Structure 1
């Protein structure tokens, strides 16, 4: 194991996202990259999923990227949502948004590589490595295993601290509310659940109403979906 890989193991136990990102930056520099970006898209809210983003791109580029609304049309993000296969950036990838590709060229961010991880349940993480010079085929072949290893460790390290943050923001359902919601997810009616758990139907309905309220859901079906996406059944 290379020294940078050995050092990177420490990122897995760091307590904050900023400290984890510091390790990732150092590792990306050791691999010959100028910039690194890591994004995590949480599964909720469904209509506008929460995005957590860390990168060391120039501040002017970060502002321009957001001001232009590029996150909504960036083909790297779209592709990362569809497949965990790593890919190089290219003009072909950006054919539908040539203005973004041109702006990246101007900013010196044209040569990059992205690896995504499709999390369970429902989340997506994405690591991108960027530099000023293009890759040669031999260079890419030689570095690819270490780049993928970096993506895996980055995902593991960030997942731990981000999930802890998201868990602290999640509603606190009681053990009984979760139990009732699990049976609801299995298609059981309130009467079925009452008989299974030896409760009254009114008590089951009470727990379902509480779950709906705590999860800010319009009905019990939506409450089950949100509980699954938040990982409350794990």
Structure 2
């Protein structure tokens, strides 16, 4: 089973328990040792209300919560205020409390990894964190090699998580035009807007127009998330 097939399998999960197991399996397949997906219905809500799906040590999770580490963790602060991913570096930890927190985290093998912030259209907030056993330059090189896959994965996970949070029922039938299906299929295999415009013999503006309509139909924020949903629903194949 390749990466895309695993993402489609994640999209097709019918309950949060099986979905959680698939997230961990997919992260391992990608080469990451531990993973955490946290989602909350509003960035203003207290973090203890978040849905947390993780393979982190329960001892570490209990200590993290008991000591209120979310309030001093610079990765959490970054995720609240940015949409860009952050690779874990010692330089992020500046204050004495943050440095003590870092040393304790390292004792649980949290030395290297990456976190992707998740921000939804109705102020939903979350993070996808992936830990890797490599360190320093090797870890950073490995993470950079996986950024495209992680970006694809986090879009799918976030949309699925929002569905669980809102307790959505089955979505209504989604109707795509032949042109939309063609564009979505090329998007699913990683073609850029410029490349698709050349394949379809039309302007980039026309492609952007169709992609905007596609995202609207699937109620997602990115073309990747739309592609994953379309594959899971059997609307396109790659």
**TM-score of the superposed pair, with normalisation by structure 1:** 0.64
Larger radius of gyration: 1
Residue 88 of structure 1 and its aligned partner are, at CA, apart by 0.4
Distance apart, 1:40 and its partner CA: 0.8
Instruction: Tell me which of 134, 155, 158 is aligned to 2:158.
Output: 155
Quick check: 1:15–1:161 contact (8 Å CA) kept in 2?
Answer: no
| 1:161-214 deviation per Cα after TM superposition (whole angstroms, max 9, x unaligned) | 12217x9xxxxxxxxxxxxxxxxxxxxxxxxxxxxxxxxxxxxxxxxxxxxxxx
- 2: CA distance between counterparts of 1:116 and 1:145? 15
Across the aligned residues of Structure 1 and Structure 2, the Cα RMSD in angstroms comes to 2.1
1:212-234 per-residue CA deviation (whole Å, 9 max, x = no partner) reads: xxxxxxxxxxxxxxxxxxxxxxx
Q: What per-residue deviation string (whole Å, max 9, x for no partner) do you get for residues 76-116 of structure 1?
A: 11111111101101111122311111011111111110001
1:172-183 residue pairs with structure 2 within 5 A? Answer: none
Q: 2:73 maps to which residue?
A: 74
| Equivalent in the alignment of 2:59 | 60
1:176-215 matches, within 5 Å, as none
Aligned to 2:197: none
Moved >4 Å (runs of 4+)? none
Aligned to 2:105: 104
Counterpart position of 1:141: 144
Distance 1:149 1:160, change over 3 A: same
> Take 2:142 and 2:131, find their aligned partners in 1: how far apart are those partners?
14
Instruction: Answer whether contact 1:43 1:122 (CA < 8 A) is retained.
Output: yes
* 1:10-62, Cα deviation, whole Å (9 max, x unpaired): 22132222221211111110111110000012228x56363111111111111
In the aligned structure 2, how far is the partner of 1:147 from the partner of 1:48?
26
Give the structure 2 partner of residue 41 of structure 1.
40
Counterpart Cα distance in 2 of 1:86 and 1:16: 28
Task: Tell me the SS of whatever aligns to 2:115.
Answer: strand
How far apart are the structure 2 equivalents of 1:29 and 1:48? 30
In the alignment, what sits opposite 1:95?
94
TM-aligned CA deviation for residue 7 of structure 1: 2.2
The alpha-carbon deviation at position 4 of structure 1 amounts to: 2.9
Structure 1 residue ranges without an equivalent (≥5): 168-234
SS in 1 for 2:113: strand
